Structure 1
Amino acid sequence: MNTQTQPRFDPTRVPHLLGSFAPVTDEVDVVDLEVTGKIPDSLDGLYVRNGPNPRFSPIGSYLYPIDGDGMLHGVWLSKGRAHYRNRFVRTAAMVAEERVGRALWGGVESLILPGADEVGPELADDFKDMPDINVVRHAGRTLALAEAACPFRVDAGLETVGKEDFGGALPAGITAHPKIDPVTGEMVVFCYALEPPYLTWSIIDPTGVVVRKATPVENVDEPMMIHDMALTERYVVLVLSPVFIDLEAAMTGGSFLAWRPERGTRVALIPRDGGQTVWASDEAFWLWHTVNAYDEAPDAGAPVILDYVQWSRLTVGGDSSSSGAEPVRCGLVRARIDPTTGRMSRTELDDSRVELPRIDDRRIGRSHRFVALASETGHAGLLPGEYNAIRWYDTVGDSSRVWSSGSLSVGEPVFAPEPGQQSDEAGYWMTFATDRTDQSSWFLIIPAGDPTAGPIARVRIPVRVPLGLHGSWLPN
């Protein structure tokens, strides 16, 4: 049965269900895509991106980017040619909805849950799996990741294999942003929950075995939303912005997420060897995504450097500047945290409006030079989460370079290194883009050595790819 009376909800008035964000329902498979320019012969692998894509028209509520079914969009590159395929991540809840041809679960803010008479006892009165945020590969497994739940494993053709609980070792699941240490091969994960323990972290070894089971993070005594993490050689870095999950308020028509700036923001440095957590704190800020973190020096006790995109307050859905509130501010920020004293200082590196930051993944946990970010150039009419440029920030030169995409709305840039080369200027940045004038979608390949020159290859995607979230380059 439903937990509350279904509220009035009109999905045709939700901006993130319209235009370049609108979901698609057809699954297609097309080889030999049209290419403008030339795909480098050295690129041999799969670029795959996940994102919210409701299979049926939502009921109750829709909160971007949390709600929605997962859809994977893949572009296979080999010998200068490209092949596209998209597939839904088929959860048990989606299959149940497909049987009746309509949505049965409401969005997270409406708490509409079907009863046993509609979906059977195993799915009744429980939240829907939504592995719609990210996709990674580790230990031979390709995983579609949810905000905070078990991921779903998919095969080489993006067909769903099933829910992944890592041999029963992580039954509560993980969040959408694990970090894979490029040196050790370990995947470090965390998860937040509605019941104690509210926050845990774990380690999965290079073979896929959970070698540290879910370990509670101390001094976390109520449910909080924490979207991303960072990793250094010594520490797991978790940023606890004051965003609390308020089920009681949601049950009575209020907000599922509560922004409480008076609580400030805390940062946990958790030793990867299981030692005592170090806490730092500062005035309230929100982050969706970290860039990277690293130990400033090899000496024990060296400060931790954390780069991230900082928001002045929580932004979710279409709310980037609530009525009566100060305009939300964002920018690229560097924090320096002393693990001995817990003191933290912050420096703004770039005040441009940016999001979806990525580095060369081979630099995760180690110092990095270049950061690529989706960016705005002041174009009127862009929705929250829509970007019309890519910006590259140079942490060594303290400078930025920008490629303006014109009528294209671009997504997260992902780095594909040139095989056999170690420089993060030897490779290519990849992203999906959709033309706002005709809703055509493209896959762009931009040279890392000269990114402001724009794409050296534009691959025409045969269907529109909704603006979405996170992806990976999976070389063969």
Structure 2
Amino acid sequence: MSLDKPYISDHFAPVTDEITGHELKVRGTLPPELNGRYFRNGHNPKPGVTPTHWFRGEGMLHGVRLQDGRAEWYRNRWVRTPYLDGVPFTGTEVEVSAAATNIIFHGGRYLALQEANLPWEVSADLDTIGVYDFGGKLASSMTAHPKEDPVTGELHFFSYSPFPPYLTYYVADASGAIIRSEIVDGSGPSLMHDFAVTREHVVFIDSPVVFDHTEHSGIPYRWHDDVPLRIGVTPRAGGETRWFEVADQAALLHVANAYTDTRGRIVLEAPRFDRSAWEGSWKWWVGAPGYGTTPNAGSAFHRWTIDPATGKVTTEALNDLVTEFPSINEALTGSDYRYSYAIAFPGAGLSGYHTVKLDSKTGRQTLLAHGEGRMPGEAVFAPAEGATVEDDGYLLTIVSDIKADTSELLVLDAGDLSTVAAVELPRRVPAGIHGDWIPDGEPSA
């Protein structure tokens, strides 16, 4: 395997096999209420394979089982799709997937997701079960960023395509059965990686990063200056989607949250890419000349406020840190909230990687520096037992040390980012993408 590509070098260098470790060493004390599984997904090319783009690496899941203050096991497993066996993406057979972006638990199933394809179901021990199409009701792709409604248990998600129909919206009930499917009018062939829901609306993002057959990285999307950022708002109760054009051209990759304020305005918060930030990141993802040292080249946290009464959208910067991979206490998905958590990348006055907590009401930010050669992953929120305030809980993140060639699962206090416990993992875990905390007590969890 050639290591001249950034996405298979250093923190991103893949591991070559699958292992299982039991009764892992814990520094500090694991909170006794953390009984469940922490799973994380990411790209891990097989030995001898150099993908043309970070997003085309084969999917590998990493998991840690916590129980009664112990770390019972760690295991890593490739998602065994046809792509792992060398079958290329065709653009038509949506079951051929790297399955490498996210993993969720819904309706009693663990689903490994990648947005151009169908989900792949895995077991509670990360063994591959097979492609999953919601009982034949999903014939297209599924976003890697579905949103579970914390009140109803419904799963909201979408499928997007470079060809008409560009966007289809789905809802599955709490048991996992699809109960709503509709084409969303007015969308274009943009790279729609994420979206948002409020209590009343679904919020779609149509960005200037659009399908372009001249892009030869294997991910055929490119920034176009003549395409504006547009935000689509669909009533959850049913009705026409209304598209709002944003004067400030930008792209969004991941969303923190959205909600409807007391004036009926839709508020959306997310890291924002301008063209230079996006193209700098894209150079890293494909290993183009001048790609830099990280997969993030300048996205910063912003707020968009959409006013249906005036048809106007205002944009506001919330801080100037270079941030991505935002997360929240998901009990507040779609509702007014205060705190988000993210990775702060080197830049904007910071050296090294940090975990950051942002108070979107006051602008206050709390930073945890991870030290030289150490890189954190996305911080996943787990509530404390009996929690009554938004940030009463824990953040789970895998932090890798490139110099020591080791990794650990950190459990942080979500209030002040202090370290509660660290689980020493039996191997270095490559930098990845998204994960989930699945507590015991869920059906078949």
TM-score when normalising by structure 2:
0.90
Counterpart Cα distance in 2 of 1:322 and 1:218: 39
2:349 corresponds to 1:359:
no
Which residue of 2 is the match for residue 475 of structure 1?
439
- Alpha-carbon separation, structure 2, partners of 1:439 and 1:261: 42
Cα RMSD (Å): 2.6
Task: Map 1:81-120 to 2 at 5 A.
Answer: 81-82=70-71, 83-94=73-84, 96-97=85-86, 105=88
In 2, the alpha carbon distance for the partners of 1:355 and 1:134 equals 15
| AA at the equivalent of 2:166 | Y
Q: Aligned with 1:16: secondary structure?
A: helix
How many Å apart are 1:353 and its aligned residue? 0.6
2:8 pairs with 1:17: yes
Q: 1:228 aligns with which of 190, 194, 197?
A: 194
Cα distance in 2 for residues equivalent to 1:437 and 1:402? 22
Gaps of 5+ in 2: 441-445
Equivalence for 1:101: none
Task: Provide the residue aligned with 2:112 in structure 1.
Answer: 144
CA contact (8 A) 2:95 2:118 kept: no
Amino acid at match of 2:44: N
Match of 2:427 in 1: 463
Q: Matched residues in 2 for 1:176 and 1:188: separation?
A: 11
Deviating above 6 A after TM superposition, structure 1's stretches of 4 or more consecutive aligned residues are: 319-324, 379-382
Alpha-carbon distance in structure 2 between the residues aligned to 1:429 and 1:474: 13
Aligned partner (choices 226, 239, 243) of residue 275 of structure 1: 239
What is the Cα deviation at residue 219 of structure 1? Answer: 1.7
Secondary structure class of the residue paired with 1:474: strand
1:429 alignment counterpart: 395
Gaps of 5+ in 1: 1-9, 98-103, 114-121
Superposed counterparts of 1:45-444, under 5 Å: 45-59=36-50, 61-64=51-54, 66-82=55-71, 83-94=73-84, 96-97=85-86, 105=88, 128-213=96-181, 215-221=182-188, 223-247=189-213, 249-250=214-215, 256-282=220-246, 283-297=248-262, 302-313=264-275, 314=278, 315-318=281-284, 329-378=298-347, 388-407=353-372, 408-444=374-410
Q: Read off the aligned partner of 1:427 and give its amino acid letter.
A: G
| Aligned-partner Cα distance in 1 for 2:317–2:354 | 20
Q: Does residue 38 of structure 1 match 2:29?
A: yes
- In the TM superposition, residue 261 of structure 1 has moved relative to its aligned partner by 2.2
Contact 1:146 1:175 survives alignment (8 Å): yes
Name the SS for the 1:318 alignment partner: helix
Give, in angstroms, the shift of residue 444 of structure 1. Answer: 0.3
2:443 equivalent in structure 1: none
**CA distance in 2: counterparts of 1:255 and 1:290, whole angstroms:** 21
SS in 2 for 1:174: coil
- Is contact 1:154–1:161 with CA below 8 Å preserved after alignment? yes
Report how many residues are paired.
Answer: 428
Deviation at 1:93, TM superposition (A): 3.0
Deviations 1:408-457 (A, max 9, x none): 11110011101222322221111001112222111100012221x3x221
SS in structure 1 at match of 2:83: helix
CA distance in 2, matches of 1:459, 1:307: 32
2 CA distance for matches of 1:70 and 1:342?
A: 42
Per the alignment, residue 4 of structure 1 pairs with none
Supply the AA of the counterpart residue of 1:343.
Answer: K
**CA–CA distance in 1 between the matches of 2:79 and 2:424?**
23
Question: Alignment partner of 1:258: what SS?
Answer: strand
Indicate the SS of the match to 1:316. Answer: helix
Cα distance in 1, alignment partners of residues 333 and 350 from structure 2: 35
Percent of aligned pairs with the same residue?
35
What's the CA shift for 1:133?
0.2
